[in-house]
C-alpha cells in the first residue's frame, strides 16, 4: 500500500507509478506500430480506435448516466456527413470541420436527450431507435447528401500535412482517440461525471443534492453524441467514403454490445470492448480460412444452411462470445482486468 499525503493523489490521472508506466509503454507501442505494421493492420487499428471513441461516448450515456440509446448510428452518420459536407461543399479545413461535426452531433444529442426527461428504459430505447432510423432515411433520400450513393471523402489534412496513407490516417485517428479517452477519464471523475452517476443510481437523491436533472441528462446525451459524431467523421476518412446504408440499426446495437462486453461505466472497458468486437467481426469474415475449424464450418454451412451461409456462422460465433462474456463476467472485460489486477497485487503469495 502506498501512502497518500495529498488529496490530489486521490484524483490525479495516474494514481500510481505502475499505471503511469503502463500508459507510457502503451502509448509508445501505439507510436511505433505504423513503422512495422502493414496496411491492413493499420486499417484494423484505425477501425478499433474509431469504435473506441464511440464506445467511450456511449458508455458515458449508458454506463455512467444510466440512459439507453439505440440510435447512436444516427449520431455516427450525422458526424460523418457534417464533416465531409463542410469540407466538400463549404471548403472548411479538416481541423475546423472535425470539431464542428462533433458539435453538430452534440446539438442533435441534446434534442434527442429531451425525451429522456420523460421516458425511461424500454420507452427511451424505442424513441432513440426511431431517431437512428429517421436519420438514415433522411440522408439516403436527400440529393444534398448524395442519396444512396453517398459522397467521397477528401483526405484529412492538418495544415500542409495531408493524411493520404494508412500510416498518416493512423497518426491522426489515434492521436484524437487518445485525447478523447483522457478527456473522458477526467470528465467522469469530476463533478459532472459524479452527477451523471448520481442520476443513474438514484434520481430522487440526485435532485435532493441540487443536481439539475434536465440539464445533466441532456448534457450526457450531448457529450455522448459529440464523441460519436467525431468518430463518425473519422470513419468517413478511414473508408474514404460515406453512404447512408452503413449507419443501420445493427451498427447501433454493435456499439451497445461493445459497451456491455467491455464493461459498463469504464473508459478502459469501452476501449477493450471496441477492440474485441471490431477484431472479431473482421476475423470472422474470413472464418472459413481458419486452420482446422474453418473447412469444417464451411462444410456445416454448406450442408445445413444456404450456399451463402457463412455469414450465419459469423453471427452465431460472435453471439456466442457475447453471451459467454455477459454470463461469466457481468462486469465485462473491465471485470476481467480488475480480477487480474487483484491477483497480481499479492503475487507471488
Partner 1 sequence: MAFLSIQDLSISFGGLTALTHISIDVRQGLILSIIGPNGAGKTTVFNCITGIYRPNQGSITFQGKELVGKKPYQVASMGIARTFQNIELFSHMTTMDNLLLGRHIHMKTNVFTGATFLTRRSPAAREEREHRERVERIIEFLEIESARDIPVLALPYGTRKLVELGRALAMEPTLLLLDEPSAGMNQEEKRDMMFWIRDIRDDFKVTIIMVEHDMNLVMDISDEIVALNFGVKLAQGAPNAVQKNPEVLEAYLGQQ
Q: Which residues bind partner 1 (CB under 8 A)?
A: 6-8, 10-13, 182-184, 186-187, 189-195, 197-198, 200-202, 204-213, 219, 223, 265
Residue 35 corresponds to which cell in the numbers above? 513503422
User: Residue 10 or 143: which CB sits closer to partner 1?
Assistant: 10
Min separation Cβ 265 and partner 1, Å: 8
Q: Are 88 and 276 in contact (CB under 8 A)?
A: no
User: Residue 195 or 259: which CB sits closer to partner 1?
Assistant: 195
Min separation Cβ 117 and partner 1, Å: 12
Min separation Cβ 110 and partner 1, Å: 12
CA distance 148 to 159: 32
Burial classification of residue 246, based on how many CB atoms lie within 10 Å of its CB (0-12 exposed, 13-18 middle, 19 or more buried): middle
Min separation Cβ 102 and partner 1, Å: 13
What's the sign of the alpha-carbon dihedral 213, 125, 275, 51?
A: negative
User: Residue 137 or 202: which CB sits closer to partner 1?
Assistant: 202
User: Residue 227 or 255: which CB sits closer to partner 1?
Assistant: 227
User: Residue 37 or 197: which CB sits closer to partner 1?
Assistant: 197
Residue 286 corresponds to which cell in the numbers above? 474470413
Min separation Cβ 182 and partner 1, Å: 8
Q: Are 275 and 52 in contact (CB under 8 A)?
A: yes
DSSP labels for 9-29? HHHSSS-SHHHHHHHHHHHHH
Do you find a cis peptide bond into 179, omega within 30 degrees of 0? no
∠ at Cα 230 (201, 271), nearest 5°? 55
- Three-state DSSP class for 347? coil
Min separation Cβ 332 and partner 1, Å: 15
User: Residue 210 or 348: which CB sits closer to partner 1?
Assistant: 210
Amino acid at each position: 500500500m502506498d501512502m497518500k499525503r495529498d488529496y490530489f493523489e486521490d484524483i490525479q490521472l495516474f494514481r500510481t507509478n505502475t499505471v503511469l508506466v503502463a500508459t507510457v509503454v502503451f502509448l509508445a507501442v501505439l507510436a511505433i506500430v505504423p513503422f512495422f505494421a502493414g496496411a491492413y493492420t493499420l486499417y484494423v487499428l484505425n477501425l478499433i480506435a474509431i469504435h473506441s471513441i464511440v464506445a467511450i461516448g456511449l458508455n458515458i450515456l449508458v454506463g455512467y448516466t444510466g440512459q439507453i440509446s439505440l440510435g447512436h448510428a444516427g449520431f455516427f452518420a450525422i458526424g460523418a456527413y457534417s464533416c465531409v459536407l463542410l469540407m466538400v461543399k463549404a471548403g472548411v479545413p479538416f481541423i475546423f470541420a472535425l470539431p464542428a461535426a462533433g458539435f453538430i452531433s452534440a446539438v442533435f444529442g441534446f434534442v434527442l436527450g429531451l425525451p429522456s426527461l420523460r421516458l425511461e428504459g424500454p420507452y427511451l430505447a424505442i424513441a432513440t431507435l426511431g431517431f437512428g432510423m429517421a436519420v438514415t432515411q433522411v440522408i439516403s433520400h436527400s440529393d444534398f447528401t448524395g442519396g444512396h450513393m453517398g459522397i467521397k471523402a477528401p483526405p484529412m489534412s492538418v495544415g500542409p500535412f495531408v493524411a493520404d496513407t494508412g500510416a498518416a490516417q493512423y497518426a491522426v485517428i489515434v492521436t484524437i482517440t487518445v485525447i478523447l479517452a483522457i478527456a473522458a477519464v477526467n470528465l467522469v471523475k469530476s463533478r459532472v461525471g459524479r452527477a451523471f452517476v448520481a442520476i443513474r443510481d438514484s434520481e430522487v437523491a440526485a435532485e435532493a443534492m441540487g443536481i439539475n436533472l434536465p440539464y445533466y441528462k441532456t448534457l450526457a446525451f450531448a457529450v455522448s453524441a459529440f464523441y460519436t459524431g467525431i468518430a463518425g467523421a473519422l470513419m468517413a476518412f478511414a473508408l474514404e467514403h460515406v453512404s447512408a446504408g452503413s449507419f443501420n440499426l445493427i451498427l447501433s446495437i454493435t456499439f451497445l454490445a461493445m459497451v456491455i462486453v467491455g464493461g459498463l461505466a469504464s473508459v478502459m472497458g469501452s476501449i477493450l470492448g471496441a477492440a474485441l468486437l471490431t477484431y472479431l467481426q473482421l476475423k470472422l469474415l474470413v472464418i472459413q480460412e481458419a486452420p482446422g475449424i474453418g473447412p469444417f464450418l464451411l462444410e456445416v454451412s454448406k450442408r445445413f444452411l444456404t450456399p451463402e451461409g457463412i455469414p450465419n456462422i459469423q453471427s452465431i460465433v460472435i453471439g456466442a462470445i457475447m453471451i459467454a462474456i455477459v454470463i461469466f463476467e457481468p462486469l465485462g472485460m473491465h471485470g476481467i482486468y480488475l480480477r487480474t489486477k487483484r491477483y497480481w497485487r499479492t503475487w507471488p503469495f
